[in-house]
Amino acid sequence: MADAPNDGMEITGTGISGLDELFEHKGIPEGNMVLLAGACGTGKSIFGMQFLYHGAKEENDPGVYVSLEESPERVMKNMEEFGWDVKKLVDEGKLLIIKPEIYELNALKRTIFDAVERIKAKRLVIDSFTLISTYLKDDYDVRKTMFELGHEIKKLKCTTLLISDTVEKANTFSVSGFEEFIADGVIVLYLIKDTSKNYLLRTLLIRKMRGTQHSLKYVPMKIIENKGIVLYPDAAVFEEM
């Protein structure tokens, strides 16, 4: 947990190099539920892993990673590729990686809430929140369920990342277009094509964040071996970094 600003608000440091300085209080207000949106290949899962690893290792914030697609073993392997000693944190009870069944919503909620309670988690990542909606029958059911689930997650008082899978050039940041309105914050990861050089550049935009002022600049980012995600706040998009 980062130092509190003068108004007493507690701040959660993200552990993403270059990101916290984009917020007025140098991090995300504690307890915020943030939608982390982006198309495939933008780095959402790595972002979520890095957020939890930093909290558990550097800020004494236990964290829960809810994987709705990959096994805990695969998630750990992915994290260890960046040189992160995940097993040590799991063994110490500072990090918990689970893969619950998602076929029944109440059972899913109980599994998540029990995991948070078990290690007294302060951080939570659900990867991916989008997958839950595929088991709902219509748009009304999606909106109703996502609202109720979001409300319940906020009760946990964790700083939470809900990973949202979007399609390229979408005008919404979730499948239903509704989750971004119930979230306290929206951070979007993009792959932008530089037609002059024929390559894709990773960028990040803080679309909204309740409780703090923040940059509205598209910030270049890279995924670097042994570091994870690194942002370059002083660089311009398509500028050599």
Predicted pLDDT at 46: 96
For 140-147, the CB contacts below 8 A with 24+ separation are: 142/175, 142/176, 142/178, 143/176, 143/178, 145/105, 146/174, 146/176, 146/178, 146/179, 146/182, 147/178, 147/182
Asked whether residue 217 is assigned to any structural domain, the reply reads no
Asked whether residue 126 is assigned to any structural domain, the reply reads yes
More confident residue, 70 or 134: 70
CB-CB neighbours of 13 under 10 Å: 21
pTM confidence score? 0.92
Tell me: pLDDT of 3 over 60. no
Q: Quick one: which H or E segment has residue 220?
A: strand 219-224
> What average pLDDT score do residues 176-202 get?
84
Q: At which residue do the structure tokens 């040590």 appear?
A: 88
Predicted pLDDT at 141: 80
- How does 106-138 read in b/e, with b if 16+ C-beta sit within 10 Å? eebeebbbebbeebebbbbbbbbbbebbeebee
Predicted pLDDT at 172: 63
Q: Specify whether the CB–CB gap between 119 and 94 falls below 8 A.
A: yes
Q: At which residue do the structure tokens 């050039």 appear?
A: 169
Per-residue pLDDT reduced to its tens digit, 76-92:
999 999 999 999 999 99
Predicted pLDDT at 19: 98
Predicted pLDDT at 175: 62
Token output for 102: 């998602």
Tell me: pLDDT of 186 over 80. yes
Q: Which residues contact 134 (CB under 8 A, 6 or more apart)?
A: none
Predicted pLDDT at 174: 66
Asked whether residue 75 is assigned to any structural domain, the reply reads yes
Which 8-state DSSP code applies to residue 17?
B
For residue 117, give its domain range.
32-188
Q: Quick one: which H or E segment has residue 118?
A: helix 105-119
Asked whether residue 72 is assigned to any structural domain, the reply reads yes
Residue 152: CATH number of its domain? 3.40.50.300
Q: Report CA-CA distances (Å) from 164 to 34, 68, 86, 142, 143.
A: 10, 12, 24, 14, 14
Asked whether residue 210 is assigned to any structural domain, the reply reads no
Mean pLDDT lowest for which of 70-84, 111-125, 164-178, 196-210? 164-178
Q: At which residue do the structure tokens 């989750």 appear?
A: 179
Tell me: pLDDT of 128 over 70. yes
If one counts the domains in the chain, the total is 1
Predicted pLDDT at 130: 80
- pLDDT, averaged across the chain: 89
CA gap 111, 66 in Å, rounded: 9
Percent of the chain with pLDDT over 70: 90
Q: Specify whether the CB–CB gap between 7 and 218 falls below 8 A.
A: no
Mean pLDDT lowest for which of 34-48, 107-121, 126-140? 126-140
Token output for 213: 């002022």
Tell me: pLDDT of 210 over 80. yes
CA gap 199, 191 in Å, rounded: 9
CB-CB neighbours of 233 under 10 Å: 16
